[in-house]
Structure 1
């Protein structure tokens, strides 16, 4: 196949690399089908999505999203560049009150959210919940569930409409199959309240970027309230503190990565140069997130020369002996701890892991310096990076004939979406000063034991303000992270079908799974690169070409 010159590194942090796929076709009447049937039935018939171009879908979405009215309360210390995350190296001494009146009208609502941490105390025993609800002027009673099994919980709840809470959080990777056919029967279309200039009634919601709202549109309506994502969400990290001790600099090409990984490796000292960086290899070699348009035709990532080259490179890395033996064995769960202990010195991870790692390690190792490499193409040239999904989590309001309740819930959402620099933002993110946090002599919030037990991402999961970096509690972190992202931002572009909710027919659900397994096997020498050809032929035969035709229907005219 012809090597396409426009190929670029894979999507940054999107779960195209991991677990997220998205939706968007016509709904089915609740009279005709129950929600349970919608979620579990299969259909081989043509869908609306199959005959709708992305231009038509984009036009439809544009009609339901809010007008964008940015709020500029605080000037960042490190400005945004082409959409990169702005950085605040200090906390404002004086906070602004963005919601001047109590937004609630005394309503009481149940909300369901996930947690990938210890579940906080329930409302009756949680002073954080009580304080926020008082400020809201309404009661939100959270049903917090284990995030690791949340997808199963969502499907169970949606299969019984009477059990659906008033407000439901669904991460993008937990959207169930055929969700777009159920959403209109279970949840409220918010476009009559938020489309266009109607959103100006809720200024903090109107401050959320348009792309995040577009990604919250399902079934010709605006159903989701978004948790916006950052422009760049993945990085290849290295232990700069150890690199400096050894007189090394971060690699700037794929060959340099290999040579440095081997130089760092010393089994006698229980130190290896690298973790399994398959995602990083795709970034280096310019693998598209899912589809690329070449000479007017769609090409899947697995069909590209760049994908093949990335597989060849990752196999060389493993064969060099520079990958930690536990990673070779497939133990990826402990990659963070190996990296933090210095057992491995280069690794791929989400940007969120950076500050989380600092929080874990700095108290016992103040010299710890985890840094992301500037992105590079395999040959050392400039990278071209694809933007990830504009929103990562959504919340949905249960269908309700009482307009006053919907308006009250949106007023509560407007409070929760207050941006950095506001009293509301501080309350939602840190709780009550003197109870859940204190401030040090630099005005930096320091969480108390009660804060650690009670304050968590519950209200923030319902809707969130535009992302900023204000984690000033980690010395140097805000400047390093925001400046790094600003350097990478000029190389970011939108991939094909960016920001559109496209639901693939369920029969294609496991079509790409064999390639995940094959990549692991080729990397570890259990299979050869030539096995990729047979896998591609099988993929095409089992539905790959049909899936290509499906996506072709979304191409702009």
Structure 2
């Protein structure tokens, strides 16, 4: 965890929501999962609670409303800590960067916080399930430092949604502490939360959180996503401010004597110029996600005067569709991408078969890990975002938390003990507690390389995994010093984009739609693919919009309007 965004070997949440859903459902391994959790632009069918936030000042909220005002009274007061000073500071919420691993660690929790309690905790795993107590020396070591015992019930992440629903259906089976990823929250979860889980606002709302300084260090926006039914129920796993980018092959751009584009028209022109079928080289992958960001497409709803427009009704969405369709018509998109083969897009980009691609920020360090050993010159970089005309872009901030944990209703003394344990687990980067939670015991579960980066031992690989870290996590940092230049490039890129980040009308609101609207927006995903590839036209979009409105779209609009003042 000291050598990456938080974890050098296991990654850190950083991909788009739709990509996360595909990968999580298809099965991912332990070392890649934590590189896949965020999304700056949500597809219409994506869950509402998948990502991101960071330390530093937050962008100005675009709106306030009745739900927002209620939530504001429930969440802890933000009291940022800087126990270890970053080399690249946060700018308006961007991820701070550490270009070297701290040579000494800070102790943020002076004494074991527990009072001898024993608790069960249910968590997912998208990797081999580690040994349980009493065989797991990592669990023993952490529990000793906690002064309490947490017995983990680790379950297959690919079947976790079913497990969650089964457990919630029988309240007596609910563990003391339960992790639920945002994409596994079942229908009407708010009602279940209010009936089964502890409202934490009674203990940590506002200045009450001062008792737990590491929890107070978690930004307010991440806490907001843990609010349901007028209470604060979820302890958050925060993510990043911006999670998707349009990357380009900087090494090959330099060889070819070209520079990255600075407008939508320049992108198309350059993509066409770079395309040379005889050399098995195409200018672009399918950059539909990046096109939506470039064109300022709202995550879900846009306020226009006193009314709401769904993203698929907006002019920005239409413009993004039209631009992407022209890019495809230019012949500049790799034919496998045109055919819909998204699974091999990374391989095409990394091999140089395509030179520009849209992806989650986590793909950056993952690609470096794959490619640098065989191609030391490999260099991918994210473009600075631009508006279609080359002006200042509008970037919508990603949702601020990806995973939540919930404490079962119990007596106040036990809740307070578990919050004290959570305060230990939320210790920030550069602390003894953070290293222990994320890596285990030095010399037993990990050793350090010449740069000070923790490297898992065989025992660490077997026993250490994201269990305690899933219960609650510290604000994200970038410390991936094992990849030369990455920390500086990535943190500075995000800092440059941060001033253009805004919050949409429903940012930080945990809204679960009624089940009857569950499939309402799904036709637009396939329709967008068809329009982009020239199989259908914008007239088909108009027809689908009319159907959407008549089948519940207008009713859904009224539902969302009810959450605004």
Match for residue 455 of structure 2 among 446, 452, 456: 446
Counterpart-to-counterpart distance in 1, 2:352 and 2:143: 44
Residue 168 (structure 1) aligned with residue 174 (structure 2) = no
- What per-residue deviation string (whole Å, max 9, x for no partner) do you get for residues 191-226 of structure 1? 121122221111111111111112211111110001
Note if 1:493 corresponds to 2:502.
Answer: yes
1:470 to 1:180, Cα distance in 2 relative to 1, 3 A: same
* In 1: Cα distance, 2:489 partner to 2:443 partner: 30
| Alignment partner, residue 563 of structure 2 | 554
Note the alpha carbon deviations across 1:151-182, whole angstroms, 9 max, x for none: 23222221222222221111112211111111
What is aligned with 1:283? 293
- Whole-Å separation in 1 of the counterparts to 2:155 and 2:370: 24
Aligned residues: 516
TM-score between the two structures when normalised by the length of structure 2 = 0.87
Match of 1:425, SS?
A: helix
Query: Partner of 2:405 in structure 1?
Result: 395
Cα deviation, 1:30-65, whole Å, max 9, x if unaligned, reads xxxxxxxxxxxxxxxxxxxxxxx9633223222221
Higher alpha-carbon deviation: 143-152 or 485-494: 143-152
Q: Which of residues 491, 516, 529 is equivalent to 1:520?
A: 529
1:421 matched to 2:430? The reply is yes
Aligned to 2:230: 220
Change (3 A) 1:151 1:14: farther
CA shift for structure 1 position 487: 0.3
**How is 1:251-290 mapped onto 2 (pairs within 5 angstroms)?**
251-290=261-300
1:49-448 → structure 2 map (5 Å cutoff): 55-400=65-410, 402-448=411-457
Contact 2:41–2:289 (Cα < 8 Å) also in 1: no
Q: 2:48 aligns with which of 18, 21, 27?
A: 21
Structure 1: unaligned runs, 5 residues or longer: 1-10, 24-52
CA gap of 1:287–1:15, structure 2 versus 1, over 3 A, is closer
Offset at 1:351? Answer: 1.2
Q: Secondary structure at the match of 2:434?
A: helix
Distance in 2 (CA, whole Å) between partners of 1:207 and 1:380 is 37
Structure 2 vs 1, CA of residues 128 and 474 (structure 1 numbering), >3 Å: closer, same or farther?
Answer: farther
* Pairwise CA distance, 1:537: 0.5
User: Residues 285-317 of structure 1, C-alpha deviation per residue, up to 9 Å, x if partnerless?
Assistant: 221111111122211111122211111111122
Cα distance change of structure 1 residues 355 and 126 upon mapping to structure 2, 3 Å threshold: farther
Shift, 1:339, TM fit = 2.1
Q: How far 1:323 moved relative to its partner?
A: 2.1
Shift of 1:347: 1.5
Say if 1:259 and 1:147 are closer, same or farther in 2 by CA, change over 3 A: farther
Which moves more between the two structures, 354-363 or 371-380?
354-363
SS of residue paired to 1:81: coil
Structure 1 residue 427: Cα displacement:
1.1
For residues 262 and 155 of structure 2, what CA distance do their matches in structure 1 show?
Answer: 43
Aligned to 2:477: 468
Q: CA deviation at 1:413?
A: 0.6
> Hey, what's the Cα distance between the residues in 2 that align with 1:513 and 1:377?
27
User: Structure 1-normalised TM-score?
Assistant: 0.88
Question: Contact 2:284/2:332 (CA < 8 Å) preserved in 1?
Answer: yes
Cα contact 2:126–2:158 (8 A) shared by 1: yes
Q: 1:462 to 1:274 in 2, by over 3 A?
A: same
- Residues 225 and 462 in structure 1, CA contact (< 8 A), matched pair in contact too: yes
Counterpart among 487, 490, 497 of residue 478 in structure 1: 487
1: distance between equivalents of 2:368 and 2:208? 42
After alignment, is 470-479 or 100-109 more displaced? Answer: 100-109
User: Hey, what's the Cα distance between the residues in 2 that align with 1:458 and 1:177?
Assistant: 25
Report if the CA contact (8 A) 1:22-1:175 is conserved: no
User: Deviations for 1:390-424, whole angstroms, at most 9, x for unmatched residues?
Assistant: 21211111222x32222221111110000111100
Q: Which 4+ residue blocks in structure 1 deviate beyond 4 angstroms? A: none
- 2:58 matched residue in structure 1: none
Q: Distance in 1 between matches of 2:463 and 2:334?
A: 38
The RMSD of aligned alpha carbons is: 2.0
| In structure 2, distance between residues paired with 1:131 and 1:15 | 40
Partner-residue secondary structure (3-state), 1:143: strand
Distance 1:359 1:139 in 2: 36
Cα distance change of structure 1 residues 60 and 234 upon mapping to structure 2, 3 Å threshold: same
Which position in structure 2 is the counterpart of 1:49? none
